[in-house]
Chain A
Amino acid sequence: MTLAEARVVVEGLIFAAERPLSAKEIAEIVDLDKPTVEALVEDIRRDYAQGALTIRLVAGGYQIVTKPELAPWVEKLGRPVIHAPLSTAATETLAIIAYEQPITRAEVEQIRGVRSDSAINTLLERELICEVGRKEGPGRPILYGVTDKFLEHFGLRSVDELPIKSIGE
């Protein structure tokens, strides 16, 4: 397979995948190394400059999306149901879980100072968080962590993109 052929395959893979596709996964399929795949994706993205689409890196993978300036037009078609914004309580809870994961509900509640079970249920339902295990100790409480969907939802490449945690001392 020539590089030009590989480039076409890479584009097809990203298009067809239903979730962000990592360079590593693509590299394994087309049997090239990761830097080559990254260079090919960059090349495809450059080609998209004139068109409606672009490739974004989110949740550790590539995804073909419409350009943000098209948003007002796409929204005339309708808005995705999942785009219903989260409540403040749910967003706060999500922020705590993103930074402190794995974390139990009781620990989240200690930070927020209020009960958070309904916020956690909402986040579970929307698959922004998931159970990641059980904490050793009395009652073995459930531990929660954020999901890839969380990263995708907020357009983050990884949790490292969250602002650095610096709590006043």
Chain B
Amino acid sequence: MGYVVQLEVYQGPFDLLLDLIAKNEVDIWDIPIAAITEQYLAYLYSLQEKDLAIAGEFLVMAATLIRLKSRLLLPQEPVEEDSEEPEDPRKELVEQLLRYKFFKEAAQFLQARYTDAVRYYTKGQRLERYNLTPIYTQPVGDLTLEDLARVYENLRREQDNGEPRVHEIYARIPLQERIALVRLRLVGSPRLSFRSLLQDCTPGEIVGTFLAVLELVRLGEIRVVQDTLFGEISIQPYLWEVEVNP
């Protein structure tokens, strides 16, 4: 199994369908269901070939399309005299698509507004400096999965103090708990090595701690610094410079 590169990313089945309709240059009110269904399924198969999990929603839509296709193949019931035109079985889907399309465009509007709005700065915003020197002065290109496994193995061995170890097969490790622990360790320490956080951790806890660190970075509470390539990774609490000045 190699690494997989994702194909086009769709937000969901509606997004994929709209894209297919646009690519085929067909009228949304007159979708050639057979052709579109075929292309839709082809996309799902291509995901499968790439070992990507297909979200349930995509499969539900596939079923809907196939049902529509079969309904369209059946002969139309004769139109009763007093009734108007028979309802197009595609109508409901088209309405959902148009509804989604509107919000997709509204989201693009918001994104454009955002690009404008961020150009106005208010006073005293927490500004994150980006003048950090680049760490990746040489590409990590040669690093393979095996290298990563070896690093991990070394790390595990380092912690092995020879005592018998109890392996928990299943343990719930709430992320919030790991975050709280990292926060606690950071109290009063201007700089903390990532390695020290992993001391005496089970594999599950290592993963939890790693995720906690990522989450804290995302929340802007800490920053992670590595002075040299493959060097010690240290964690620093973000300095709330703004709050220093009343």
Which A positions have Cβ atoms within 8 angstroms of B?
15, 54, 56, 58, 63-68, 70-71, 74, 77-86, 88-89, 91-92, 94-96, 98-99, 111-115, 125, 152-156, 162-163, 165-168
Contacts and interface: CB of A to CB of B under 8 A. Distances in A.
B103 interface: yes
B11 A155 contact: no
Contacts of B118: 71, 83
A112 B100 contact: yes
B109 A163 contact: yes
B245 to A, nearest CB: 13
Given A71-B121, A74-B127, 4 more contacts: A68-B119, A78-B128, A95-B109, A114-B57
B128 A65 contact: no
B166 interface: no
Contacts of B110: 91, 94-95, 98, 154
A92 B104 contact: yes
Contact of A155 (B111, B113, B129): B113
A156 B113 contact: yes
Given A78-B128, A81-B126, A167 B98 contact: yes
Contact of B13 (A74, A113, A162): A113
B114 A154 contact: yes
Given A68-B116, A154-B114, A78 B55 contact: no
A145 to B, nearest CB: 16
Contact of A168 (B55, B98, B106, B125): B98
11 contacts: A15-B123, A64-B123, A67-B120, A96-B106, A113-B13, A113-B96, A113-B100, A125-B219, A155-B120, A167-B95, A167-B98
Contacts of A111: 96, 99-100, 103
Contacts of A152: 117
Given A79-B127, A91-B107, A168-B98, A114 B119 contact: no
Interface residues of B, number: 42
Contacts of B116: 68, 155
Contacts of B123: 15, 64
Nearest to A73: B121
A155 to B, nearest CB: 3
B57 A113 contact: yes
A2 to B, nearest CB: 27
A74 B11 contact: no
B61 interface: yes
